Amino acid sequence: MDIARRLERIEQEIRQVEDEKLQREQMLGAFWEHLPALDPIIIRDHMTFLQNNSLSKTGRGRCSKKSKRSLTLRDREILHSP
């Protein structure tokens, strides 16, 4: 896969991860606003799951951004090498 296509794919992955993270954060906010009459342990476990999932998305986004920077730098080196 050439660098330009890989960079585009990474951009798509970053957008997707950021969208998923935003959805999880909104779901978590809605959950806080409208806590169902459930066992507090179930609520705690579900909120912990949502928070961990959001952190996972953040990590995935960081990895994709690092890959993008690495490929961009490599592309520049290739273009400017004698």
Mean pLDDT, the chain, integer: 75
pTM given for the model: 0.47
Q: Which runs of consecutive H residues, i.e. helices, occur in 1-82?
A: 3-33, 40-80
Cα–Cα dist 48/43, whole Å? 9
User: HSE (CB half, 13 Å, CA atoms) of 10?
Assistant: 19
pLDDT digit string (tens) for 20-60? Answer: 888 888 888 887 777 666 677 877 888 788 777 776 666 66
pLDDT for 41: 82
Confidence of residue 8 (pLDDT cuts 50, 70, 90): confident
Collect all residues with Cβ–Cβ distance below 8 Å to 60 and sequence separation of at least 6: 13, 17
Instruction: Output the six-digit token pair for 59.
Output: 């990590």
